[in-house]
Amino acid sequence: MDEYEKLLLQNKGWAKDRLDLDPNYFNRLADIQMPNFLWIGCSDSRVPANEITDTQPGEIFVHRNVANLVVSTDLNMLSVLKYAVEVLKVKHIIVSGHYGCGGVKASLTNNHYGMLNKWLRHIKDVYRLHAKELDAILDQEKRVDRLVELNIIEGVYNLAKTSIVQKAWANGNAPSLHGSVYSLKNGIMNHLITVDSNSYLDPIYRFDFKGGLED
Ligand code: CO
């Protein structure tokens, strides 16, 4: 039996276990999803959103990419964001990174990764913004981990810079934006920052919506 067949079997076992515990489990979930959270996390297989937050299917709307980036021209992320904010009306958006992130580590080298260079470039830009602080950290692992944190914080501000979030705020709606960092060593997710409609945002990034509310 190959790995994929094993996965399908495990799925059947899981579905049976759920039904044994609660015969209505899938009936309830099939109706509607009304999650309170949008999770923007790293694709790393060791950081599954539901598992580390002890939440159930239906509780977190999830978008993951390499190094949990929030890139203003990423149609995939923007589509998820728009649906989460305007249709699901999530109350919280969490940019969740993790220490020891391979994408962040790679961005601090001069290695050529082909197409991945274009993605990692965004992390190099975060490094350049905070080069003074980062260059003062001599230990390479600690420097990577601080860049992990700064990349999360910049990601949170990148969300605040979108017209999708600003429009929701202008209408008096959620979401609050949070940044958190997860440790693979102890399983703990630590809070880094919260940004909401009252937080300071450099005025150059503030839209006035007098010209209309389109994206
Ligand atoms: Co990662």
Quick: pLDDT tens for 152-164: 999 999 999 999 9
> Does a structural domain hold residue 195?
yes
42 is catalytic: yes
Q: Out of 46, 121, 191, 206, pick the active-site residue.
A: 46
CATH of the domain at 101: 3.40.1050.10
> Does a structural domain hold residue 172?
yes
Quick: pLDDT tens for 3-26: 999 999 999 999 999 999 999 999
139 is catalytic: no
CA of residue 148 to ligand 1 center, whole Å: 9
Alpha-carbon distance of 43 to 184, in angstroms, equals 14
Residue 92's domain spans which residues? 32-205
> Does a structural domain hold residue 106?
yes
Quick: pLDDT tens for 48-61: 999 999 999 999 99
- Evaluate if residue 79 carries a pLDDT over 80: yes
Return the pLDDT at 67.
Answer: 98
Quick: pLDDT tens for 118-142: 999 999 999 999 999 999 999 999 9
101 is catalytic: yes
Return the pLDDT at 215.
Answer: 66
Average pLDDT, the chain: 95
pTM of whole model > 0.85?
yes
What total of structural domains would you count in the chain?
A: 1
